[in-house]
């Protein structure tokens, strides 16, 4: 049993991680957030039986203030759940790592990775924001007291069920657009993609805290399918064929892609930023789709990692598989 702090614990993934930790009933959980939290309700610690306030308003500009907050609350495990898309988020995580390393009470740290292996070249993962994750890795390698691990869910399979499955993720279309009956696949469509549903990812992260030792890489993917197989699953449940187009990976690398209709609609919701918003969205999607095409999301190619799904098989409820998500979302077809 331990005291766990989730930095960014009110965000899309952070909230799920916090909920998963609380559901175990094993941890005193704190939420570190820049936001002023109006909810002042307390919780009962399963460690002491005493009441405590779980929300900590946190500024990340000072390492010393972070050290004080972690020390005062006797935090043993720090989980960072920032959206790593800018220098300020990266700098905040770096200060949090330094602070955790300085605290005698903190023993473990999970950085905000939550995707795939980032320490690869652009020939495998042409994703510019990976530089922020690599900076965190370099900082963790300097630490002297922390045990740390990187957790890879792969692609979040929620995306292939939105808007019909409940999810904290914001809608984006990768490869298939079931409501519009379209799909755009790179190369020959045979690239494989490993996936996890977000709530299962959070659940397995919480389970990882029970392990006596962490290997450097932990994975949570319950399904690995080719993109062509993904299209066939959607077609089977929709009861009709998709209009499938194939495009060279080089087009993705140059951000010269076919735009799926839902992504265009998403960009248009912010008219003050259109069409620049569409260009940014197109670049993000193209980079991640290119990573899939180049093999970055195929966990069958990983070595030296611990598969948490297998490690806890038979001990906890089975995770969702992509077949279940597609059936839940698209079995009845689609009507606006």
Task: Tell whether 202 is covered by a domain.
Answer: no
Is 122 found in the same domain as 8? yes
Is 94 found in the same domain as 64? yes
Is 166 found in the same domain as 48? no
Is 143 found in the same domain as 175? no
Is 43 found in the same domain as 90? yes
Position 149 scores a pLDDT of: 97
Position 34 scores a pLDDT of: 86
Task: Tell whether 310 is covered by a domain.
Answer: no
Task: Tell whether 218 is covered by a domain.
Answer: no
Is 279 found in the same domain as 169? yes
Task: Tell whether 212 is covered by a domain.
Answer: no
Q: What is the pLDDT of residues 198-248, one digit of tens each?
A: 999 999 999 999 999 999 999 999 999 999 999 999 999 999 999 999 999
Position 269 scores a pLDDT of: 79
Position 334 scores a pLDDT of: 57
Instruction: Tell me the CATH number at 167.
Output: 3.90.25.10
Positions in the chain short of pLDDT 70: 1, 36, 38, 270-275, 332-336
Is 249 found in the same domain as 114? no
Is 119 found in the same domain as 163? no
Is 144 found in the same domain as 19? yes
Position 273 scores a pLDDT of: 63
Is 171 found in the same domain as 50? no
Of 114, 148, 182, which closes a domain? 148
Query: Helix/strand/coil (H, E, C) string of the chain?
Result: CEEEEEECCCCHHHHHHHHHHHHHCCEEEEEEECCCCCCCCCEECCCCCCEECCEEECCCCCHHHHHHHHHHCCCCEEEECCCCCCHHHHHHHHHHHHHHHHCCCCCEEECCCCCCCCCCCCCCCCCCCHHHHHHHHHHHHHCCCCEECEEECCEEHHHHCCCCCCCCCCCCCCCEEHHHCEEEEECCCCCEEEEECHHHHHHHHHHHCCCCCCCCEEECCCEEEEHHHHHHHHHHHHCCCCEEEEECHHHHHCCCCCCCHHHHHHHHCCHHHCCHHHHHHHHHHHHHHHHHHCCCCCHHHCCCCEEHHHHCECCECCCCCHHHHHHHHHCCCCCC
Task: Tell whether 200 is covered by a domain.
Answer: no
- Residue numbers of the domain that contains 6: 2-148
Position 266 scores a pLDDT of: 86
User: Domain count of the chain?
Assistant: 2
Position 257 scores a pLDDT of: 87
Q: What is the pLDDT of residues 108-133, one digit of tens each?
A: 999 999 999 999 999 999 999 999 99
């Amino acid at each position: 049993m331990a005291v766990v702090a989730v930095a960014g614990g009110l965000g899309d993934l952070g909230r799920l991680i916090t909920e998963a930790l609380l559901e175990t009933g094993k941890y005193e959980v704190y939420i570190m957030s820049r936001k002023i939290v109006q909810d002042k309700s307390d919780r009962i610690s399963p460690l002491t039986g005493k009441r405590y306030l779980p929300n900590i308003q946190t500024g990340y500009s000072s390492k010393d203030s972070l050290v004080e907050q972690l020390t005062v609350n006797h935090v043993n495990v720090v989980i960072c759940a920032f959206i790593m898309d800018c220098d300020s988020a990266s700098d905040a995580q770096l200060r949090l790592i330094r602070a955790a390393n300085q605290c005698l009470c903190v023993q473990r740290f999970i950085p905000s990775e939550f995707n795939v292996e980032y320490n690869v070249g652009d020939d495998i993962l042409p994703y510019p924001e990976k530089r922020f994750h690599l900076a965190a890795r370099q900082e963790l390698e300097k630490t002297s007291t922390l045990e740390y691990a990187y957790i890879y869910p792969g692609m979040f399979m929620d995306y292939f069920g939105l808007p019909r499955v409940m999810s904290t993720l914001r809608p984006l279309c990768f490869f298939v657009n079931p409501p519009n009956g379209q799909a755009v696949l790179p190369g020959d469509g045979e690239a494989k993609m490993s996936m996890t549903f977000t709530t299962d990812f959070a659940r397995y992260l919480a389970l990882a805290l029970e392990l006596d030792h962490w290997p450097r890489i932990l994975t949570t993917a319950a399904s690995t399918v080719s993109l062509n197989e993904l299209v066939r699953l959607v077609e089977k449940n929709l009861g009709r064929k998709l209009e499938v187009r194939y495009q060279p990976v080089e087009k993705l690398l140059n951000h010269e892609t076919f735009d799926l209709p839902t992504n265009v609609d998403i960009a248009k919701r912010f008219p003050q930023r259109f069409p620049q918003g569409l260009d940014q969205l197109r670049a993000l999607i193209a980079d991640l789709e290119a990573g899939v095409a180049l093999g970055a999301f195929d966990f069958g190619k990983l070595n030296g990692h611990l598969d948490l799904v297998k490690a806890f098989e038979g001990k906890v409820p089975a995770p969702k598989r992509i077949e279940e998500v597609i059936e839940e979302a698209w079995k009845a077809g689609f009507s606006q």
